[in-house]
A and B are shown apart, each in its own frame.
Chain A
Amino acid sequence: AQKITQTQPGMFVQEKEAVTLDCTYDTSDPSYGLFWYKQPSSGEMIFLIYQGSYDQQNATEGRYSLNFQKARKSANLVISASQLGDSAMYFCAMRARDQGAQKLVFGQGTRLTINP
């Protein structure tokens, strides 16, 4: 079965600091992908970054980077130079084949608060 674990229910960071949000995963599918989504208080799900299991390089999108360590089954999100607008819930998710179909499984999320 596919599983995503986010062990940090909440994090508090000073503005302009870098922050790392942890994510570990488990799957038996050799071809999978990992996502990070941001959910602000308004409720919408915003796609941030994607890493495929066969990608050689760690994914980066602006201030977001994904620290992908395949052997450790971890896919941590790094936000550089945090801003007040980064305060939100962050979800790690994995797409993998389960019973023949590609499905997306989410972790429980980390609430990030950026302090001025």
Chain B
Amino acid sequence: NAGVTQTPKFQVLKTGQSMTLQCAQDMNHEYMSWYRQDPGMGLRLIHYSVGAGITDQGEVPNGYNVSRSTTEDFPLRLLSAAPSQTSVYFCASRPGTPTYEQYFGPGTRLTVT
């Protein structure tokens, strides 16, 4: 199993550009989430999904869209990039209860200039 994969690893955007961060998992996990990690801070939840076709907002959803058309994929779209979105983005997945351990991808480092 590849686990949770994220592409790209690094990305530089100009203010106002849009892009999609890709996330895929091959463990048939129901739950997938996107987090952002700002310097010196813990992770904050952006959006999450409890299954294909179902998504919901987390703590910091503004400026981001998600969709979940398949169990495997959970892309994160930045609609109009802003410098405040400079961060490291982590995708994670987990199976349903009773296992709560989240499996994290390697992260995408995004810089918006």
Contact = CB atoms under 8 A, between A and B. Distances in A.
Contacts, number: 50
Contact of B48 (A44, A45, A101): A101
Interface of B: 31, 33, 35, 40-45, 48, 50, 56, 58-59, 88, 90, 92, 100-104, 106-107
A104 interface: yes
B30 to A, nearest CB: 11
Given A33-B100, A35-B102, A103-B45, 15 more contacts: A35-B100, A44-B104, A44-B106, A47-B101, A93-B42, A103-B48, A104-B33, A104-B45, A106-B42, A106-B43, A106-B44, A108-B41, A108-B42, A109-B40, A109-B41
Contacts of A33: 100
Interface residues of A, number: 20
B101 A50 contact: yes
Interface of A: 4, 33, 35, 43-45, 47, 50, 91, 93, 95, 101-109
